[in-house]
């Protein structure tokens, strides 16, 4: 099954928490703090795999999460780093942000891409020892992992794209000039997925050609199969526009060209600007009647496009077309690679990010800033509780409670901690 778009969630690993520990050794008095740091959380990394040609693996599994870092240990032992999660994708896959649609990365090269970094490990209590605080009973928690909803979109990497209405001979041509063996039959939509083939025209002279499933009128609005596969022409440096010169399907070949080009323009003006070679196929069915071929050649000349004629069924003109294609490619820029557009915006947590609300007989304090403070507080340690009181007071939390009418003995809830309010 050919799948070229997938939506998934990626989550990097949480950093391990720092350790609150103290040195204990026989004959060594007051050994002091020795809590180790937490390990770094694993990152989510994307890597190109040329053995893959579809995003089928992402059809059913939608959530990918890297391993968390281990917590710090005693004797200043650092926790083990979480393992990175490597996700393999076909070459040409684009990573987009689901919310904005912006390009995060174009995976067209062999360089691994770190999509979300793992959280750093927290410091152990060893880091907080000072001459006046020789036995700190608190440590820092590890940083949380990063969650991101992304879209994986496969855009084939091909130098040349074969476009045209169904049944004009695109698959036949690809099978004759490369080792690709697409399904060929005399009915519309024989080709249901894009096919790639490598075309060799001489020593160290080759290019990749893609047979794109039939594009019909209204494709850019969702008609037929073309809407699903127009994206695969995006990177093509050159388009071979095949038409049925003999009109064996009862269509006008010039009208076919205009309709297909209108679909390309409707999808993307950038795509519509690609250079084209108009290829008049099935000329063997014309016999001695050259009028349709001359009409197509005149149309191509008037619109600044190169022209070639061939009979894919009898191999007439095929080698000449491949040589013309190679010569045209030599003058064109390399395959297009999308530049990153997405700039991650990290939510800045400030001492204003909190709220107080009264729920029955409780005053509940919540918010991102409060969660961050409480994560690094050890309520069993006097100095740590002093730190919490000082931070809440400076942020105006206690003042807000008094404005709401809190009285001594009332219950206050912060995170998962409940205590009685004392002036």
Residue-level pLDDT at 14: 94
Residue-level pLDDT at 292: 87
What does the alpha-carbon distance between residue 415 and residue 392 come to, in Å, rounded to a whole number? 13
**Which three-class secondary structure state does DSSP give residue 321?**
helix
Q: Which two tokens stand for residue 218?
A: 């209204």
Q: Is the pLDDT of residue 349 over 70?
A: no
Q: Is the pLDDT of residue 400 over 80?
A: yes
**Which three-class secondary structure state does DSSP give residue 60?**
coil
Q: Which residues, in sequence order, are CB contacts of 409 under 8 Å at separation 6+?
A: 420, 421
Assess contact for 211 and 195: CB atoms under 8 A: yes
Q: Is 294 exposed, middle or buried (0-12, 13-18, 19+ CB in 10 A)?
A: exposed
Kindly write down the DSSP assignment for every residue of 165-221, as one continuous string. Answer: STTSSHHHHHHHHSS------SSTT---S-EEEEEEEETTEEEEEEEPPPP-TTGGG
pLDDT digits (tens, 9 = 90+) for 80-90: 999 999 999 99
The pTM is what?
0.76
- Angle at the Cα of 325 from the Cα atoms of 335 and 236, rounded to 5 degrees: 25
Residue-level pLDDT at 146: 92
Residues of the chain above pLDDT 70, percent: 89
Q: Is the pLDDT of residue 190 over 60?
A: no
E-assigned strand segments in 66-112: 85-89, 93-97, 103-107
Q: For residues 388 and 181, which has the higher predicted lDDT (pLDDT)? A: 388
- Angle at the Cα of 183 from the Cα atoms of 182 and 184, rounded to 5 degrees: 110
Assess contact for 210 and 160: CB atoms under 8 A: yes
pLDDT bracket for residue 220 (50, 70, 90): very low
How big is the chain by its Cα radius of gyration, in Å? 33
pLDDT digits (tens, 9 = 90+) for 16-38: 988 888 887 777 666 788 889 99
Residue-level pLDDT at 413: 84
Q: Is the pLDDT of residue 226 over 60?
A: no
Residue-level pLDDT at 350: 59
Assess contact for 147 and 347: CB atoms under 8 A: no
What does the alpha-carbon distance between residue 239 and residue 233 come to, in Å, rounded to a whole number? 8
What does the alpha-carbon distance between residue 338 and residue 46 come to, in Å, rounded to a whole number? 16
Residues of the chain above pLDDT 90, percent: 28
What does the alpha-carbon distance between residue 199 and residue 59 come to, in Å, rounded to a whole number? 32
Q: Which of 313-341 are b and which e, b meaning 16 or more Cβ less than 10 Å from the residue's Cβ? A: eeeebbeebbebbbebbeeeeeebebeee
pLDDT digits (tens, 9 = 90+) for 110-137: 999 999 999 999 888 888 888 877 778 7
Picking from 183, 181, 179, 160, the residue whose alpha carbon sits closest to that of residue 232 is: 160
């Amino acid at each position: 099954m050919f799948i070229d778009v997938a939506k998934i969630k990626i989550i990097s690993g949480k950093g391990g928490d720092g350790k609150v520990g103290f040195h204990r050794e026989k004959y060594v008095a007051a050994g002091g703090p020795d809590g180790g740091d937490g390990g770094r959380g694993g990152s989510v990394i994307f890597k190109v795999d040329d053995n893959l040609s579809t995003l089928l693996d992402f059809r059913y599994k939608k959530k990918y999460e890297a391993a968390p870092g281990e917590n710090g240990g005693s004797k200043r032992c650092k926790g083990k780093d979480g393992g990175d999660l490597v996700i393999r994708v076909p070459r040409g896959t684009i990573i987009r942000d689901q919310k904005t649609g912006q390009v995060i990365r174009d995976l067209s090269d062999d360089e691994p891409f770190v999509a979300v970094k793992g959280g750093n490990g927290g410091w152990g209590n060893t880091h907080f020892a000072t001459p006046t605080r020789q036995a700190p009973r608190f440590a820092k928690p590890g940083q949380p992992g990063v969650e991101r909803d992304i879209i994986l979109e496969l855009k084939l990497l091909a130098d040349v794209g074969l476009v045209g209405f169904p049944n004009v001979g695109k698959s036949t041509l690809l099978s004759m000039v490369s080792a690709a063996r697409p399904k060929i039959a005399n009915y519309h939509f024989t080709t249901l997925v894009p096919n790639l083939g490598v075309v060799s025209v001489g020593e160290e002279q080759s290019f990749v050609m893609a047979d794109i499933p039939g594009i019909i009128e209204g494709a850019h609005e969702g008609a037929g199969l073309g809407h699903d596969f127009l994206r695969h022409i995006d990177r093509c440096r050159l388009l071979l526009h095949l038409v049925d010169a003999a009109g064996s399907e009862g269509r006008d070949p010039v009208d076919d060209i205009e309709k297909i080009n209108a679909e390309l323009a409707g999808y993307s003006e950038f795509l519509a600007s690609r250079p084209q070679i108009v290829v008049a196929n099935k000329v063997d069915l014309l016999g001695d009647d050259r009028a349709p071929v001359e009409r197509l050649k005149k149309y191509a000349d008037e619109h600044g496009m190169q022209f070639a004629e061939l009979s894919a069924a009898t191999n007439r003109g095929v080698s000449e077309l491949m040589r013309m294609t190679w010569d045209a490619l030599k003058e064109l820029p390399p395959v297009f690679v999308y530049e990153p557009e997405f700039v991650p915006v990290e939510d800045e947590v400030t001492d204003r990010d909190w709220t107080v609300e009264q729920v029955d007989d409780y005053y509940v304090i919540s918010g991102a800033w409060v969660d961050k403070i409480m994560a690094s507080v050890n309520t069993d340690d006097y100095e740590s509780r002093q730190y919490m009181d000082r931070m809440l007071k400076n942020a105006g939390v206690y003042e807000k409670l008094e404005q709401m009418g809190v009285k001594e003995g009332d219950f206050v809830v912060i995170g998962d901690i409940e205590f009685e309010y004392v002036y």
